[in-house]
Structure 1
Amino acid sequence: MTFKAAAIQMCSGVDPRKNAETMVRLAREAAAQGATYIQTPEMTGALQRDRAALRAILKDEANDLIAAAAAQLAGELGVYLHVGSTPIALADGKIANRGLLFGPNGQKICDYDKIHMFDVDLDNGESWRESAAYQPGSIARLAELDFGKLGFSICYDVRFPELFRQQAVAGAEIMSVPAAFTRQTGEAHWEILLRARAIENGLFVIAAAQGGTHEDGRETFGHSMIVDPWGRVLASAGPTGEAVVLADIDVAAVHAARAKIPNLKNARSFVLDEVAPTGKGGVAA
């Protein structure tokens, strides 16, 4: 089956209402160009480094502005609208980095909470501790839709290939990678990671990204893109600003790639045997 997918690039600020307006405007643009699956980036609703200020504007999912706007718009346009993620208030004071998929009838199909927390220390003093505010998810999600099987990840998840492999083995034909990659890590790794995940699993990767300098001062890498199962970049955006990235997705290409290189079937279990030197010139038997 062939369908048109869209990855929306945004530069979300600290005001969820303004971000919702941007999401709606760009989703309408994507639908007008024929997209039936539309993905927004990680943290569509707000990018706010001040955690106290972030908590002050958050709602639970039932009262979240982004979730409500996406549900209404998906039903109006008759499309699959995938909020790549948005911050959702949890009862224990933590925050969920939650993706939400709405169907053409406006009903929520499923959600996905980001599993891997971005706790890193980069060059030039850039440091992030996502786990200090966010509650990691523990459930991988695979949705069987009328155009194919869609797997879920968010941003830092892309560095954990086992998440992608398990979903591919379970039948995923398309993986979503909405993100707010930092400029520093994006310049080094963004495209190569997306292409690697597509190649090693023989599937499409759709990655809507944040791009630009945000109101809270952070810089994100942009370059939203769609990659095919052979690792070819079908479409991509620039480093900053809003964009709608479109590509035709032919799910038959997944099965063709996996027939050529059936590594999912050819994988074997093995035992890791660690050896240590027993002395000069020898190793343990």
Structure 2
Amino acid sequence: MKLSCKVSMIQMRVRKTKEDSLLTAGEKIKTAAKDGADFVILPEMFTCPYETENFPIYAEDENGESVRRLSSAAAENHVYLVGGSLPERDDTGKVYNTSFVFDREGRVIAKHRKAHLFDIDIKGGQFFKESDTLTPGDKATVFSTEFGMIGLCICYDIRFPELFRRMVEDGANMVFCPAAFNRTTGPRHWELLFRSRAVDNQIFVAGVSPAADESASYIAYGHSILVSPWGEILYEAEEDETVLTKTIDLTEVERAREQLPLLKHRRKEIY
């Protein structure tokens, strides 16, 4: 297993058309690849305005144009590409919030359907109900690379520590999370949740958000973030568009677990 890797987080605004979003993503993937990225991560719903009524309109099947374009981008730039997330329609017409992962040759090596749907109503803040148009996924997702096993989740999934523990038990030493927190939940919980999941499981965790768009009905918080197994924030963006690239030392996972053996100290007989 290789002991270090470069992670690039692409924080971009959703464009007015799907085509423009895909073109923008393609250019930013090239930028990340030129900087030596091994993993490139796009934001949640990066081609679709974040509104429940848009998800069925923008939905494609797993062999649709967006997946084909992302596959080509991964192969052309020889990177692992976490394709943010897209509205995916299955053969029965159900729509999912889905993240596809591509290897360096452009092959799909993982697919995660958001397991926990964002149905909230915060007094004086955000109201959103993904279940109006989306169906939840039913699996924890990990995939294999030369850097070890990587976990994958989407946005609201991060609030459920059980899902993270399942990914870690399946071997994950790093988890990528395309996400679109907003200005109600972001300031309160964004850093807290990413640092908590990293410390709970002694893994690297990366959260990749769309950039803020003041003209959108749903304004993303931005602040894409990379956290170490010790809970240290290694990189955090502001709200604007950016590509953040960081080299991480994967041996830090084992060092953290040796020095503070949380996983070994679990009492499975009582919980």
What band does the TM-score fall into relative to the shorter chain? over 0.9
Partner SS, residue 14 of structure 2:
coil
Identify the range of structure 1 (193-202 vs 119-128) with the bigger mean alpha-carbon deviation. Answer: 119-128
Q: 2:38 aligns with which of 36, 40, 44?
A: 36
Measured in 2, the distance between the counterparts of 1:158 and 1:112 equals 13
Identify the range of structure 1 (12-21 vs 128-137) with the bigger mean alpha-carbon deviation. Answer: 12-21
Aligned positions of 1:123-272 closer than 5 A: 123-124=123-124, 126-213=126-213, 216-239=216-239, 241-269=240-268, 271=270
Measured in 1, the distance between the counterparts of 2:173 and 2:165 equals 11
Q: 1:46 aligns with which of 45, 48, 60?
A: 48
CA contact (8 A) 1:175 1:206 kept: yes
Identical residues among aligned pairs (%):
34
Deviations 1:237-260 (A, max 9, x none): 112x21111111211000000111
Residue 133 of structure 1 aligns with an amino acid whose one-letter code is: T
Measured in 2, the distance between the counterparts of 1:173 and 1:190 equals 21
Measured in 1, the distance between the counterparts of 2:34 and 2:125 equals 43
The structure that has the greater radius of gyration is: 1
2:19 counterpart residue number: 17
TM-score by length of 1: 0.90
2:62 counterpart residue number: 61
Partner SS, residue 246 of structure 1:
strand
Residue 85 of structure 1, CA deviation: 1.0
CA contact (8 A) 2:11 2:43 kept: yes
Name stretches of at least 5 consecutive residues in structure 1 with no aligned partner. 273-285
CA contact (8 A) 1:12 1:214 kept: no
- Alignment RMSD, CA only? 1.6
CA contact (8 A) 2:56 2:133 kept: no
Measured in 2, the distance between the counterparts of 1:271 and 1:232 equals 30
Identify the range of structure 1 (3-12 vs 214-223) with the bigger mean alpha-carbon deviation. Answer: 214-223
Deviations 1:47-69 (A, max 9, x none): 24261x54233321212x32111
CA contact (8 A) 2:205 2:226 kept: yes
Aligned length: 269
Measured in 2, the distance between the counterparts of 1:163 and 1:48 equals 24
Residue 245 of structure 1 aligns with an amino acid whose one-letter code is: L
CA contact (8 A) 1:14 1:216 kept: no
Measured in 1, the distance between the counterparts of 2:55 and 2:214 equals 14
Deviations 1:75-100 (A, max 9, x none): 11111011121111233333110011
Measured in 2, the distance between the counterparts of 1:153 and 1:142 equals 9
1:116 counterpart residue number: 116
Residue 211 of structure 1, CA deviation: 2.3
1:282 counterpart residue number: none
Name stretches of at least 5 consecutive residues in structure 2 with no aligned partner. none
Measured in 2, the distance between the counterparts of 1:98 and 1:120 equals 20
Residue 271 of structure 1, CA deviation: 4.9
1:102 counterpart residue number: 102
TM-score by length of 2: 0.94
Measured in 1, the distance between the counterparts of 2:38 and 2:214 equals 29
Measured in 2, the distance between the counterparts of 1:115 and 1:50 equals 16
Partner SS, residue 31 of structure 1:
helix
CA contact (8 A) 1:12 1:45 kept: yes
Partner SS, residue 198 of structure 1:
helix
Measured in 1, the distance between the counterparts of 2:142 and 2:52 equals 33
CA contact (8 A) 1:142 1:167 kept: yes
Deviations 1:167-189 (A, max 9, x none): 11222100111101111100100
Measured in 1, the distance between the counterparts of 2:127 and 2:94 equals 20
CA contact (8 A) 1:207 1:225 kept: yes
Partner SS, residue 13 of structure 2:
coil
Residue 38 of structure 1, CA deviation: 0.4
1:277 counterpart residue number: none
Measured in 2, the distance between the counterparts of 1:56 and 1:202 equals 39
Residue 214 of structure 1, CA deviation: 5.9
CA contact (8 A) 2:125 2:184 kept: no
